Structures are given as C-alpha cells and as structure tokens.
C-alpha cells in the first residue's frame, strides 16, 4: 500500500464559535479522481481553502507526499504541485487569453529580474518557448482560436475552460477543482468529463468538489461525503449511492426511512 498523495488528518477549521470543518480525515491516492460531495455549507470549499493555504486550519494535519502543508502560503503550496481553481469563475479578465496562460506558466519560467533587466538573450529565448507551450495548452482545452481575445469577453463555458487551462499551465501533480461544471449545460458538462479523462491520462491526480451527481458518479474513483463539516461516508460511487448516511444528509430523514 503506497503512501497517499494527499493525507488530510483530523482537519478542523473554526471561525469564532462556528465549526466549519470538524475532524475531517481522508486521503487522495496518486492517479485517482476523488470527489468531495455534500450539501451546501458542508465545508467543502473551506477544506479546499485550508489545503491550498488560503485559510489556516485550527487543528489537524495536511500532508502532501509527507510534507506538511499547514500554514504555507498559497504560492508555496502551488510550488509543491497543488493547484486549485475557484468556485466563482476566476480568470484575468483584463488580459488576453494567451496572457492568462502565460501567467499560469509562472512557475515553469526561470527568468531572474537581473537577467530580465539586462536583456540577456536567454530571456527572449525562454519567452518564445513559453509562448509555444501556452499555445499548446490552449489547443488542449480547445481555446486556440481565442488566444488574443480578452479573458472577460469569453462566454461562460469557455471562461471555465480557460480557468482549467491556467491551472494546468502551473503543472500540478494534484489538481483541485472547485465546482468546475456549475452553471454548465449538459453538453458542456459531457465535454468537460471527457477533458477530465484526458487530464487523468496525463498522470494528474484530481480532487473535485462538485454538486452535479451525474458527473460525480461518472468520473470518480472514490467519493468522500461531508455534512456539517464532518466526513460521513467514504467509498466507491456504488457504495456511496447506497449509503444511508449520505441519503439522509442530502434528502432528509423521511426519505431515508421511506427507502431505507
């Protein structure tokens, strides 16, 4: 049994008197797609924020390949190989699509400020290489034709694709997607699921927060269900579908009793 890629151990996050995440423990194995589900307010995005350094955990341990993530700044977390997307569509609206990807390629670039200011040829060479790579990534998500348009001018579905592309540019080992298909129509969701399979085949592990059950059941290897900050179920899609706790959390006591 190999060590998990990401190990979340008794993660607790408190906001004053409110406990948003309560002793949550789960792990993400290398190469898998793990989905985090749960009713609204269950603490999913809060957990995401803690894992990626946007929030400080009140207690518990978060480890990536054994290295402790607690208290690291978001850019350090990204350097280690965890890249996240945001629940509300987040792109660099005022910049072109190509520039968005170039920004995403930040960690892949070696240019030092002094070399930049001196105008060394290595800088220009690297810029050309970065642009080639950026166009390749745009091609991968199907936004090649949009390279020079402003991020904000893209239709909603394409903005979400741009978001994924920017995250991919940062070459994640673990990609954390926060409700990537929210607001998408069924066709867009289908093509996203196909894209996700392609991302998987690149060797990227995926941790997903999502409400769309069809997608979750379709793409996940395993599912973790949160309710009121606590992990209430952890297993394969088939197991989760039948789990009484999950049913109770989503549909309420009466449904559970009626169909239990």
* Residues engaged in binding another protein (CB under 8 A): 52-54, 73-75, 78-79, 83-86, 90-95, 99, 102-104, 106-107, 109, 111, 113, 116-117, 119, 123, 127, 130, 166-167, 169-170
Which residue, 104 or 222, has its beta carbon nearer to another protein?
104
Which residue, 23 or 111, has its beta carbon nearer to another protein?
111
Which residue, 25 or 111, has its beta carbon nearer to another protein?
111
Q: Nearest-CA neighbor of 244 among 232, 226, 236?
A: 232
Which residue, 128 or 254, has its beta carbon nearer to another protein?
128
Write the Ramachandran bin of 246: left for phi over 0, alpha for psi from -120 to 50, otherwise beta: alpha
Write out the two tokens for 160: 């979400």
Which residue, 116 or 238, has its beta carbon nearer to another protein?
116
Distance, CA of 186 to CA of 181 (rounded, Å): 9
Q: How far is the CB of 190 from another protein (least distance, A)?
A: 27
Strand, helix or coil at 99?
Answer: helix
Alpha helices in 10-89 (DSSP H): 44-51, 74-80
Q: How far is the CB of 32 from another protein (least distance, A)?
A: 22
Q: Quote the strand ranges of the chain, DSSP E.
A: 6-15, 18-28, 33-37, 59-64, 67-68, 82-84, 174-178, 205-209, 222-227, 230-235
Q: How far is the CB of 188 from another protein (least distance, A)?
A: 21
Q: How far is the CB of 29 from another protein (least distance, A)?
A: 23
Write the Ramachandran bin of 197: left for phi over 0, alpha for psi from -120 to 50, otherwise beta: alpha
Q: How far is the CB of 111 from another protein (least distance, A)?
A: 5
């Amino acid at each position: 049994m190999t060590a998990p890629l990401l190990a979340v151990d008794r993660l607790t996050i408190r906001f004053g008197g409110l406990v948003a995440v309560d002793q949550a423990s789960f792990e993400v194995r290398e190469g898998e797609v793990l989905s985090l589900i749960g009713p609204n307010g269950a603490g999913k995005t809060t957990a995401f924020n803690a894992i990626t350094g946007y929030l400080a955990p009140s207690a518990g341990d978060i480890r990536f390949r054994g290295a402790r993530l607690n208290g690291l700044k978001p850019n350090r977390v990204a350097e280690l190989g965890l890249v996240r997307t945001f629940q509300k569509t987040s792109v660099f609206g005022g910049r072109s699509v190509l520039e968005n990807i170039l920004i995403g390629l930040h960690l892949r670039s070696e240019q030092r400020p002094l070399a930049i200011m001196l105008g060394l040829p290595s800088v220009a060479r690297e810029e050309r290489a970065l642009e080639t790579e950026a166009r390749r990534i745009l091609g991968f998500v199907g936004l090649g034709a949009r390279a020079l348009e402003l991020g904000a001018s893209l239709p909603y579905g394409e903005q979400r694709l741009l978001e994924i592309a920017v995250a991919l540019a940062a070459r994640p080992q673990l990609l954390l997607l926060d409700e990537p298909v929210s607001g998408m129509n069924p066709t867009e969701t289908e093509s996203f699921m196909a894209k996700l399979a392609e991302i998987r085949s690149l060797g990227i592990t995926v941790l997903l927060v999502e409400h769309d059950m069809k997608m979750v059941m379709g793409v996940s290897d395993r599912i973790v269900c949160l309710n009121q900050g606590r992990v209430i179920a952890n297993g394969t899609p088939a197991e989760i579908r039948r789990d009484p706790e999950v049913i109770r959390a989503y549909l309420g006591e009466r449904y559970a009793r009626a169909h239990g």
